Structure formats: C-alpha cells, structure tokens
Amino acid sequence: MTKYVYKFKEGNASMKNLLGGKGANLAEMTGLGLPVPRGFTITTEACNRYYDDNKTIAPEIEKEIFDTLAETESIVGKKLGDPADPYLVSVRSGARASMPGMMDTILNLGLNSEVVIGLAGLTNNERFAYDSYRRFITMFGDVVMEIPKSKFDKEFEAVKAVKGVKLDTELDAEDMKEVVKRFLKVYEDNKGEPFPQDPKIQLMEAIKAVFRSWNNDRAILYRRMNDIPGNWGTAVSVQEMVYGNMGETSGTGVAFTRNPATGEKKLYGEFLMNAQGEDVVAGIRTPQTIDQLREVMPEVYEQFAKIANTLETHYKDMQDMEFTIERGRLFMLQTRNGKRTAAAAMRVAVEMVEEGLNTKEDAIMKLDPKQLDALLHPTFDPAALKAASAITHGLPASPGAATGRIYFTADDAKTANELGEKVLLVRLETSPEDLAGMDAAQGILTGRGGMTSHAAVVARGMGKCCISGCSELIIKEEDKYFLTKDGRKFEEGDWISLDGSTGAVYEGRIATQEATLSGNFRKVMEWADEIRTMQVRTNADTVRDARVAFDLGAEGIGLCRTEHMFFETERIFAFRQMIVAKTEEQRRAALAKILPYQQKDFEGLFHAMKGFPVTIRLLDPPLHEFLPQTDEEIRDLARELNMDPEELKDFTISLHELNPMLGHRGCRLAVTYPEIAEMQTEAIINAAINVNKEGGPQVVPEIMVPLVCEVKELKFVKNIIVKTADAIIAKAGIKLAYKVGTMIEIPRAALTADEIAGEAEFFSFGTNDLTQMTYGLSRDDAGKILEAYYRTKIFENDPTAKLDTVGVGRLMRIAADGGRATRPDIHLGICGEHGGDPSSIEFCNSLGFTYVSCSPFRVPIARLAAAQAAVRQRK
Ligand code: PEP
Ligand code: MG
C-alpha cells in the first residue's frame, strides 16, 4: 500500500521527489539531531492523487494523516484542539524544486475561540494569544477560503484608527480581542457560515488549499519559466508552531551561510525580536543584522552559527535558513539551497571547490545555466525594479534589461538615437527592413511573433533585450502610440522599460546596471570545457557577432544566415535588382555586384573564427521579404531601379505566396535560380582561398543547403556547389578542403535521412522550422495561440523555445540514426534556437551530437549546459 504521510524522522534529504524540498530537508535536519519542531509531511503523490480524485482527499489518505497526527501528538504531549495544552501547527507547501513565494502557507492552525483562551492562560499572555488567532483567521480566510486579505486589513486599520495608533505593537490584548471579533464577522459575512472551530476541519481544508495552490496562476507561470513539470505536485508539511513573538527572549529570522548577493563567505541575514516570520517579510519594523544577534543573545548566536556551518558542510551548498527563538530556545524551521545572484553563484562555486567542499563537477552541476544571462546582459537595479509597475507581459524572447523612449518605426528609432536618445523600438512585428532601427534601439517590443520570430532571433543575435508577442497591447504604428489592456496610452517619446528575461513591460524609466565578467566566471567556464564532450558553436552573420561569440568561447560558426548580410543600403539595392531581374543575364549582373560584399564578409567571419569551422548557409528566406511593401517604398525603389512603379508593384504582387514559409524558399531558390548558389559558392571559396593564403589557421568552409526534403534536391544543388568550387580551386592551383552538408528542418528530410546522408557530409538540425512543420504551428504566430494552450494545460512549454523531445525529438533520433547508418562519421549539429536552451542541449547530447550552435550571448549557457549533460549521461 502506498504510504502518503511521513513523520520527519522517517524521511531524509534524498526523498525530495516525494517529500518536496522543504519536507525532505526538515527530515534530514531531524536526522542530524538539530532542533526542529516536530511534524510530518504529506507526499507529492498525495497531491497528485488529490487531482486524480477530482480535487478530494481520499478517505485512506485522510486516515493516514490523522493517524500520524495522533502519533505526533503523543510524542509532543499536546493535542490539536485541546484548550488545556494545544498542539498548534503550520501548514506549508514544498515542491521538489524550490518555488519561493509561489504557493501557500498557513500558520497558527488549531486555534479557535476556546483554544485561544487556553493559549492565553498557558503563556500568560493574552495579547499574544489573540494576536496569533487574528493572524490565523486572516491566513485561513485569505489562503484557504479566498476572502480578499484587504477586507481583514481594513478592519485592522479601523481598530488602530479608533485607538489612535499607528503600529500593530501599540495594540493591547483588549484591542486584539476586538480585532478577532471583527475578523470572525468578516469571515462569516463573506462565507455565509461561521469560522470553522474544529481544528481537524481546519487542517484538512488547509491541506487542500496548499494542493490547490500548486495550480495557481503564479505557480504555473513560475514552473514554465523554470522548466518545472506540472506533474511533480507539491508536498505539505505540518509542523508544530514555535513562537518568536512571546516576548523579549523570543525572535525570528532568516539567514544565509554566505552573502547571496556577492557570495562572500560570512553569515548573512536578519532577525527581529518578539516577532513572527511574516513581520520580517512585511517590513513594518526594521530587522537587525544577524551579527547583532551575537550581542543580543550570544549563546543562541553561537549555536546558530554552528548549525549553519554543519548544514553547509552537510549539503555542500550555501544554505538559506529560517529560525525562531522561543523564550531563549533556538528552533530550525527550514533550510534549503539558497537562491543567489549570478555573480554570487560564480564566487560560491569557485570558493567551494577551493575549500575542498565540492569537486569541479559538483560545482558545475549546482549552477543554473539560465542564470548566466544575468552576467552577460544588463539587468535592472533591484531596488528600482521593486518600485516599478508592469503594464503588460509578453514573451521573454531575448534577455536583458532596457529602458528608453519608444519609437514606432525603424527610421524614427535610428534618427532619435543619432540625436543621442536612448530608444526602444516598438513594432507589431519586425522584418529585415527594421534592422537598422533594432540596432539603434536598446531593446525591442513586438505585438506579434513567437520565440523564433524575426525580432526574437535577430535580437538574441545582437545580445539585445526583446519582448515579443505582447498581444495585449494595441499597437498603432502609423499613429505612433500603443494602448494597454486597461486603455492607457503610451506615445512616441514616452519612457518605458523592458525586462527581456521575464517578459515584463514597465512604465517609465528604471535604472539598469551593466554586466561584468569576473575571473570566477572564466574559471567556471574552463571547468565546463574540461567536462563537456559536445562542441559549442555560434549562429553569427556579422563579424561583430562572430567576435563576441569567439570571446565567449564559441568553437566555430554553426549557422551563418547569408540573407542577414544584405540589409545595408547598397547591398539591398543590388539584392532587389537580383530579385526583380527578368532574365538570367540581368540576375547574374546583379549577383556580380553582391559577390564582393559577400566574399569580404566571409573573409571577416573566417578571420574572426581563427581556424574553427564556419558553416555558411545558402540563401533561405522567401524573396518577397526583401521587397518594398508600401506604395511609397515601391515608387522609391522603382525610381532607383529605373523601372515602372506599376510594373514593380505587379511583380511584387506576383511574388506573394499564401504560405511563404512553405513556399519558394530554402534550396528551392537554388533549384530555380542556380546562379544564386553559384555566386554564393564562389564568394565562400574565394574567401577561404584568400584567408588561407595568409598562412594563418587554415579554413575548411562548410557549405550548408537549407530546407531540403528530398535527396535529389540536395544532389542537384550540391552539383552546382561542387562544380563551382572545384573549378575555382583548380584555377587557383591550390588545395582547399570544403564540406557540403544540409539542414534537417522538414519532417520528410528527417524520415529519409539515410538517403540524404549519401550526399550530405553533415546535418544541422534547423529545429525552428522542424518544430514549426512537425506541429503545423507557425513560428511567427505561436505566441498568441499558446496562451490558451497553457491555460487549458494542453501545453506546458513553448515548443519553439524548448525542444519537444517526444515528437520533434523522435524525428531527430530517426534522422541521426539514419545519417549514421549511411555515413558513420557524419557530423551532427543543431542550429535552431533550441541550441541555446539547456534541456534541449541535454537531449542533443543524448543523441551524440557533435555540436550545438546558438546565438553569441548564449554560448556560455550552452558550454555549461553541455557539461551538465555530459555528467548526467555518465551517471
Ligand atoms: C531553423 O529553421 O531552425 C533555422 C536555424 O533556420 P531559420 O531560423 O533561419 O529558418
Ligand atoms: Mg529554417
């Protein structure tokens, strides 16, 4: 029979999955002989049963709870609901992974109108007893019964007003009795029934409320942001109350074994005498620093410092501890691995290895790769952020913090920036034409688009903050304003702030702080490199991006999207000439103008990568993306090209496709216009010859054919590449090795990968398109559709950001196996946006990939995630 309830002394730290982090650590501390108030934990499996049983607690589980309660009562020597000597408890949530503040807690449970009198007599402190009761009524009313807390607060303020005082501490026992009386009435008025006096009912209702809180909106959002599956469930710990508000020899506090902001090895924390935990959090009274406890209660301080040390050594990690002192006696209420800033995480990791507490591998495994973002991008000043209010939320498409004045066109953003303003670009969605504006902006906000939309991909490449898919906003680009859901208007030039790491959009200007890379960070990265087996490359199309990525540790370029190289004014002109060419001759003439630019760019990329492999992809996007859209733009271009505007307009319309993502793009462009592939090959081979001639590290270019679905298609394009390349190499009279490979981004390519590998020397998985096509879900519109899918719990994650290892992953496995069957030494890589996502990286590692490729600022994340994946695979 499944056991659903464990006394603290029956558990230990290895039982986190069952007892939750809090329950497992309370059990572990009990086992270590530390002073922990007694109690028991109801398992995460009971939470899952609660949901399976239609949000009810099965009778056998209820019986187990009460049996364990009875055992605990007999050990403690007190009884729940006994006015003579009441057992009072706290009821707290605790999932496998810590989710601070996401779920609910109820304190002082067991009090009722009789027990409170008993407690007053027992403690000889009537004020304390009624204060505890009113706190319990509030928590039970608010958390369990969903009565707005403000209704209780209003009555509390009213009592203070009648008394003419400001602080809670100025209320005496009689006042607290009055507060309780009013609170009981608030409860009854709102619920239509009196406050439950039976502590057993209180307990069961509180447990159910904690189970329910597993699925409150903020917990669901937190889980999605932190990759925590919804089927883990929360455990519930029921623990004897100890009181920090029993007079001047009582107190409560929170402390870390090291400073969570800097990582410095020194007890860090605060406490309040004569107070309960929530008083510390509420910030009404100013707490004292933990150092001051040494003066206030030297013996308790010594005992606490010793326990802190024991716990840190035991867990081999920085601990975050809650404690209470009840009439001079210390109790430990919680310990967990402490959340820390990214900078502190690096310092703690390095110092714990130096102290011999952790191995390098341990240190690597304890880090959160996603946290590295904070070291690489600007962040908001935490104090300034606290005071800020979010006006809406979108998708956290590219991390970092940005503040600036809003502009609604790329040109306006660029002009304002040239005049010295800090700007943010706000668009419905971005297109290649917005590049200059994106470059000028501190950050980008779009109304549409998902995690792999143009704005998201390009911003990540630039290391710039971006929030995409902010569908609540009504964005009027032409009238240069946007409206929030509640109708507030933000116009051109207004200040807003974007947090690309959370997706929150704030009103006004919030101070940001720049990122700095410390020696600790470099050391941790070196350790990761020693451990990992997969290489990490970058997606880069400009020399600037390539250099940034190289400095951050990229070992080559896994994807250069050549179309991103055409946006500068002179180039786009030649490119458009190429698109509108009516004959092959005209097209070749335009391509000849583009060739020198491309060649120079490739030389720059080869230089920046210093001999590491560089994969260059042939032209991929639908051509009409590069044509002007509005009448005015068409007129201007027609003039430049010496064409009739009507003719150009008709041509633009003729290029229009109903499904451009499934249309004339990828290698299909090279099939219809082989001269494009010829020109690009020529530019790549010439660039490699030139760079190799300099005698430095020798380049072996990798030419990649996009969007292949059929081996014959690849063979056709490969012939063009090989013929062109070999002719140039022969003419130059030198030796140059190069590779031709393909992207796997259409399900049919994955399914026929064994055939395709006959032609391809490498596969690079384009999981943006592969996900889009496997799900039949547009990568540009996913954002607004997914909200409903999260709400209805059909999806827990955005598959365009976190690889779907079940479906898309199955195709990848088929392709990897097929590719290896034909060509055992085939190189396998990933260059879709998933290449920078830790859980997706782990999956690629499990398939034996040669490398992952990601945007430059994700390179360190990928290095760390690849190391963690290697360790996990070994275990
Ligand atoms: C992909 O589809 O995953 C890919 C890398 O190509 P793009 O995003 O340019 O379509
Ligand atoms: Mg693609």
Model pLDDT for residues 579-603, shown as the tens digit of each residue: 988 899 999 999 999 999 999 999 9
Give the Å distance between the CA of 233 and the centre of ligand 2.
37
Give the Å distance between the CA of 706 and the centre of ligand 2.
7
**Which ranges of 316-409 does DSSP label H, i.e. alpha helix?**
342-354, 360-366, 373-376, 382-386
Query: What ligand is nearest to the CA atom of residue 707?
Result: 2
| C-beta 780 within 6 A of ligand 1 | no
Task: Give the atom of ligand 1 at the shortest distance from the alpha carbon of 831.
Answer: 5
Residue 793 confidence class, pLDDT cut points 50, 70, 90: confident
Residue 515 confidence class, pLDDT cut points 50, 70, 90: confident
Token pair in block for residue 68: 């364990």
Rg of the chain taking only CA atoms, in angstroms: 32
User: Among 453, 460, 559, which residue has the most ligand 1 atoms within 8 Å of its CB, making it the best to mutate?
Assistant: 559
Region 65-72 average pLDDT? 96
Query: Is the Cα dihedral 5, 6, 8, 13 positive or negative?
Result: negative
Give the Å distance between the CA of 832 and the centre of ligand 1.
5
Q: Classify residue 350 as exposed, middle or buried by CB count within 10 Å of its CB (0-12, 13-18, 19+).
A: buried
| C-beta 563 within 6 A of ligand 1 | no
Give the Å distance between the CA of 259 and the centre of ligand 2.
45
564 is catalytic: no
Catalytic residue among 377, 454, 607, 827: 454
pLDDT in tens, 256-313: 999 988 899 999 988 999 887 766 655 556 788 999 999 999 999 999 999 999 999 9
What was the pLDDT predicted at 286?
A: 72
pLDDT in tens, 752-791: 999 999 999 999 999 999 999 999 999 888 877 888 998 8
Task: Give the atom of ligand 1 at the shortest distance from the alpha carbon of 832.
Answer: 3
Q: Is the pLDDT of residue 546 over 80?
A: yes
Nearest CA to ligand 1 atom 6: 766
Residue 118 confidence class, pLDDT cut points 50, 70, 90: very high
Nearest CA to ligand 1 atom 4: 766
Average pLDDT, the chain: 92
| C-beta 854 within 6 A of ligand 1 | no
Residue in 464, 473, 381, 462 with CA at minimum distance from that of residue 423: 464
Task: Give the atom of ligand 1 at the shortest distance from the alpha carbon of 765.
Answer: 3
% the chain with pLDDT above 70: 99
Cα 545 versus chain centre, distance: 23
| C-beta 540 within 6 A of ligand 1 | no
| C-beta 541 within 6 A of ligand 1 | no
Give the Å distance between the CA of 395 and the centre of ligand 1.
19
454 is catalytic: yes
Buried b (16+ CB within 10 A) or exposed e, 133-172: bbbbbbbbbbbbeebeeebbeebbeebbeeeeeeebeebe
| C-beta 745 within 6 A of ligand 1 | yes
Give the Å distance between the CA of 835 and the centre of ligand 1.
11
pLDDT in tens, 673-689: 999 999 999 999 999 99
- φ and ψ at 279, to 5 degrees? -70, -35
Query: What ligand is nearest to the CA atom of residue 765?
Result: 1
What was the pLDDT predicted at 210?
A: 93
Give the Å distance between the CA of 845 and the centre of ligand 1.
20
Task: Give the atom of ligand 1 at the shortest distance from the alpha carbon of 769.
Answer: 2
| C-beta 783 within 6 A of ligand 1 | no
Query: What ligand is nearest to the CA atom of residue 625?
Result: 1
The DSSP output letter for 143 is I
CA distances, 630 to each of 17, 549, 653, 717, 728 (Å): 58, 37, 12, 34, 42
Nearest CA to ligand 1 atom 1: 766
Entry pTM: 0.84
| C-beta 561 within 6 A of ligand 1 | yes
Give the Å distance between the CA of 561 and the centre of ligand 1.
9
DSSP for 227-269? T--TTS-EEEEEEE---S-SSTT-EEEEEESS-TTT--SS-EE
Q: Is the pLDDT of residue 424 over 80?
A: yes
| C-beta 711 within 6 A of ligand 1 | no
Query: What ligand is nearest to the CA atom of residue 803?
Result: 1
Region 152-170 average pLDDT? 89
Q: Is the pLDDT of residue 457 over 60?
A: yes
Task: Give the atom of ligand 1 at the shortest distance from the alpha carbon of 706.
Answer: 6
| C-beta 620 within 6 A of ligand 1 | yes
What was the pLDDT predicted at 101?
A: 64
Identity of residue 740: V
User: Among 566, 708, 745, 812, which residue has the most ligand 1 atoms within 8 Å of its CB, making it the best to mutate?
Assistant: 745
Query: What ligand is nearest to the CA atom of residue 854?
Result: 1
> 386: part of which helix (H) or strand (E)?
helix 382-386
Give the Å distance between the CA of 399 and the centre of ligand 1.
20
- φ and ψ at 99, to 5 degrees? -130, 70
% the chain with pLDDT above 90: 73
Residue 426 confidence class, pLDDT cut points 50, 70, 90: very high
| C-beta 767 within 6 A of ligand 1 | yes
Q: Which residue has the higher pLDDT, 220 or 718?
A: 718
Q: Is the pLDDT of residue 516 over 90?
A: no
Token pair in block for residue 622: 């639908």
Q: Which residue has the higher pLDDT, 707 or 230?
A: 707
Q: Is 627 within 8 Å of 576 (Cβ atoms)? A: yes
Nearest CA to ligand 1 atom 9: 561
Q: Is 471 within 8 Å of 784 (Cβ atoms)? A: yes
Give the Å distance between the CA of 768 and the centre of ligand 2.
6
> 661: part of which helix (H) or strand (E)?
none
Kindly report the number of other CB atoms within 10 A of residue 693's CB atom: 10
| C-beta 832 within 6 A of ligand 1 | yes
| C-beta 562 within 6 A of ligand 1 | no
Task: Give the atom of ligand 1 at the shortest distance from the alpha carbon of 745.
Answer: 2
Q: Is the pLDDT of residue 625 over 90?
A: no
Q: Is the pLDDT of residue 120 over 70?
A: yes
Q: What totals of helices (H) and strands (E) does the chain contain, helices first?
A: 35, 31
What was the pLDDT predicted at 383?
A: 84
Catalytic residue among 470, 831, 844, 854: 831
What was the pLDDT predicted at 100?
A: 67
| C-beta 769 within 6 A of ligand 1 | yes
Residue 749 confidence class, pLDDT cut points 50, 70, 90: very high
User: Among 537, 557, 620, 779, which residue has the most ligand 1 atoms within 8 Å of its CB, making it the best to mutate?
Assistant: 620
- Report helix, strand or coil for 413: helix
Query: What ligand is nearest to the CA atom of residue 779?
Result: 1
Query: What ligand is nearest to the CA atom of residue 770?
Result: 1
Place of tokens 């990968």: 753
Give the Å distance between the CA of 806 and the centre of ligand 1.
20
Give the Å distance between the CA of 707 and the centre of ligand 2.
7
User: Among 564, 769, 775, which residue has the most ligand 1 atoms within 8 Å of its CB, making it the best to mutate?
Assistant: 769
Name the packing angle between helices 126-139 and 115-123 (round to 10°): 140
Give the Å distance between the CA of 777 and the centre of ligand 2.
14
| C-beta 674 within 6 A of ligand 1 | no
Q: Is the pLDDT of residue 422 over 60?
A: yes
Q: Which residue has the higher pLDDT, 836 or 282?
A: 836
Nearest CA to ligand 1 atom 10: 769
| C-beta 332 within 6 A of ligand 1 | no
| C-beta 768 within 6 A of ligand 1 | yes
Q: Is 50 within 8 Å of 56 (Cβ atoms)? A: yes
Identity of residue 267: L
Query: Is the Cα dihedral 712, 717, 720, 722 positive or negative?
Result: negative
